[in-house]
Every structure is written in C-alpha cells, then in structure tokens.
C-alpha cells in the first residue's frame, strides 16, 4: 500500500507546542487542515506551508511538512517562486487579515491575478492579535481599539470582493467552528488547479471576542448565514423559509412558501459561471439586510501560471535548444584557463 493511502492526521502534527491563546479559533483551522492533508493523496514531503507574520503565521511550526515562516506580507511572493521552480509541490499559504491585506496587499492581488496554483487561507479576525489589538484592514467602521480610541473611520476591506476583482479563479468563505463545511471547502480548494483563496472567519477571544457571534450563536446563525450549494436555490433560515432572488441588477431577500414566492423564483447558485458578477453581488451581502454567504463563491478553470511558464520554457528548449546549462555556459566568447 502506498504511503499516501496510509497517512493519518497525526502524521501532519509536529512535535511543537501549539502556542495560541486558549480558545483561539486557529486551533479549529489547524485541526481541519491536518485532517484534510492526509486525504489528498499527496506524499507528506511534497507539502509546503508558507506564512507571513501574525498569530496565524505560526502555522508552519505545527505542521509536520516542509514550511517557511517568511516576513510580513511576503508569503505570496515566496510561494510564487517556489511553485514556479517546483510546480509539483502542494503549496499552501497561511496568512491573516493584517498580513495579507495591509503590507501584503499588493502581493496578494498579483498571485491571484496570475492564477498561481497556490492555496491561500486568509484568517480574518478583524483585528491585529499578535501586536495586541490594533484595528486591522477588515475592522468595522467605529471599531475602538488601542490605535483607534475614538473609533475607526476606515471603510473595511472586503477580502472576497478584492479577490474577485483581482480575477481569482477560486474564492470561498468558511468559519472556524463550522468544521464540516470548512473541511469540505478545503478539499475543493485543494482540487482546484489554479489559485484558491478561502477567507476563514476566525474568532480572537482575547482582543476581538464575538466578532462573528451573529453567525456562531445557535439562536442567530440560521437567520444570518447562507450556505452556498452549487446548483441549489439560495435559501436560509431555521426552516429555510427565506430566500434570495434577483431584483433588477441587485439581490433581494424574500419569504418562500405560504404568503411568499415559489422556490422557482429564487436565484439558483452557479459557482462555475464564467462571469464573476453574481459572485461579486454575494461577496457584498452582509447583515442586517442579507445573510453572510459561506461556501464557494467562484470556481472556474483557467491555465495556471506555473503551467504556462513551464510550457514556454519547454517550447523554447525544443525550438532553440535553449535552457540547458551546458549550452548557456558554452555560448558566446569562452576561453580555457591553464
């Protein structure tokens, strides 16, 4: 039996003490990733986990794989270089809302627009946790922190809308405690041949506890969470009594059934539509008017960056004999010493 078939979650657990605050949502994400990796049919030595700076970026230490704890915001750049030089590797980037969307914003949009075959997990807790609670690029307007004592006046970044605007071919959202859905989304991202970004709502119980309570509390989550299923109508609510349909060029929440509309009037979700327009509409959907979408917003196929680069190199070698080290060294003016 092959090594891949016998791998278990424990094979991806390192011997390092996990040093996140007790109760941190990062634990749930780590468990999910360690559960998914053995199921991908990839040898352990072919996994690489790359991170930047932040609480989430300790991740490589806790994974029994190859890893690289890089500098602030630069994980996508390192991951791009690795994927180009070793396209057969399974490369995953772990980043946070501060690391990816502040100093690392430029690197993030370019790895997505190039469609580099890297999987990016963006932990979003809407706060800077490692540096003790300053507001982040995703903090809501009015957020009072040590760096915004009178409340933030910055409109927050929308990671999913940003990814779609950059041309990302796979965009999804998950929640740390929704383990079943998180694991399913991680598997879909792993199977995607190009770049994949998953925004993961992650609770920081020290500096921003309860930021996503409206989605995690039992008495609130059914009304505030929309689980996306490709090919299925958009319905939500405790009894799935509410739904979403198109209204002009926007979306509208309606009641389904008695006194409301028929299910056939609802928008049927198509994650594979070539246009990102509908995904963009949903990326901007949020309470109190709309539920928050969870799942895959977009998954379309396009040639990966590394496959095109390798294709160019192979074509040049075949056409010109270029690319061989001996040919390069022996070209032009050469001489022998001694």
Give the CA distances from residue 126 to residues 54, 158, 210, 236, 256, in Å, rounded to whole numbers and listed in that order: 13, 11, 11, 25, 34
Give the CA distances from residue 153 to residues 49, 169, 231, in Å, rounded to whole numbers and listed in that order: 35, 32, 39
- Other CB atoms within a 10 A radius of the CB of residue 130 amount to 18
Q: Which sequence spans correspond to the domains of the chain?
A: 1-211, 229-296
Using the structure block, give the residue that is written with the tokens 């799935």: 240
| pTM score of the predicted model | 0.93
- Supply the pLDDT for residue 292: 98
- Supply the pLDDT for residue 324: 65
- Supply the pLDDT for residue 337: 82
Contact partners, residue 331, CB within 8 Å, separation at least 6: none
Residue 133 has φ and ψ, to the nearest 5°, of 95, 30
Token representation of residue 283? 């990326």
Mean pLDDT by 10 residues, the chain (338 residues): 70 96 97 98 97 96 97 97 97 97 96 98 96 95 96 96 98 97 98 98 96 94 97 96 96 94 96 97 95 98 96 83 65 76
- Supply the pLDDT for residue 3: 45
- Supply the pLDDT for residue 1: 34
Domain spanning 1-211: which superfamily? Thiamin diphosphate (ThDP)-binding fold, Pyr/PP domains (3.40.50.970)
Give the CA distances from residue 155 to residues 101, 145, 146, 224, in Å, rounded to whole numbers and listed in that order: 13, 15, 18, 21
Which residues partner with 171 through β-bridges?
197, 298
- Supply the pLDDT for residue 332: 75
- Supply the pLDDT for residue 5: 59
């Amino acid at each position: 039996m092959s090594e891949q078939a016998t791998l278990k979650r424990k094979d991806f657990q390192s011997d390092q003490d996990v040093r996140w605050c007790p109760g941190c949502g990062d634990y749930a994400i780590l468990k999910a990733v360690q559960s998914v990796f053995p199921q991908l049919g990839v040898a352990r030595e072919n996994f690489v986990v790359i991170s930047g700076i932040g609480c989430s970026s300790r991740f490589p230490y806790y994974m029994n794989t190859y890893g690289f704890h890089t500098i602030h915001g630069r994980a996508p750049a390192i991951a791009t270089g690795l994927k180009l030089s070793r396209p057969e590797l399974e490369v995953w980037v772990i980043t946070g809302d501060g690391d990816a969307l502040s100093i690392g914003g430029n690197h993030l949009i370019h790895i997505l627009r190039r469609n580099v075959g890297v999987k990016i997990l963006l932990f979003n807790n809407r706060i800077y946790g490692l540096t003790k609670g300053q507001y982040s690029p995703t903090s809501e307007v009015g957020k009072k922190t040590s760096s915004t004592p009178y409340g933030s006046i910055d409109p927050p970044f929308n990671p999913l809308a940003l990814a779609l605007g950059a041309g990302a071919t796979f965009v999804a959202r998950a929640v740390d405690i929704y383990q079943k859905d998180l694991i399913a989304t991680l598997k879909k991202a792993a199977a995607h041949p190009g770049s994949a970004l998953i925004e993961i709502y992650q609770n920081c119980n020290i500096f921003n506890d309860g930021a996503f309570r409206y989605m995690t509390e039992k008495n609130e989550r059914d009304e505030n969470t929309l689980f996306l299923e490709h090919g299925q109508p958009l319905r939500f609510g405790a009894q799935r009594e509410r739904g979403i349909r198109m209204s002009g060029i926007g979306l509208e929440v309606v009641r389904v059934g008695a006194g409301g509309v028929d299910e056939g009037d609802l928008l049927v979700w198509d994650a594979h539509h070539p246009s990102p327009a509908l995904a963009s509409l949903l990326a901007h959907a949020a309470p109190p008017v709309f539920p928050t979408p969870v799942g895959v917003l977009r998954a379309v196929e396009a040639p990966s960056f590394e496959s095109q680069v390798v294709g160019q190199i192979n074509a040049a070698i075949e056409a010109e004999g270029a690319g061989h080290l001996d040919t390069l060294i022996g070209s032009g003016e050469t001489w022998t010493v001694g």
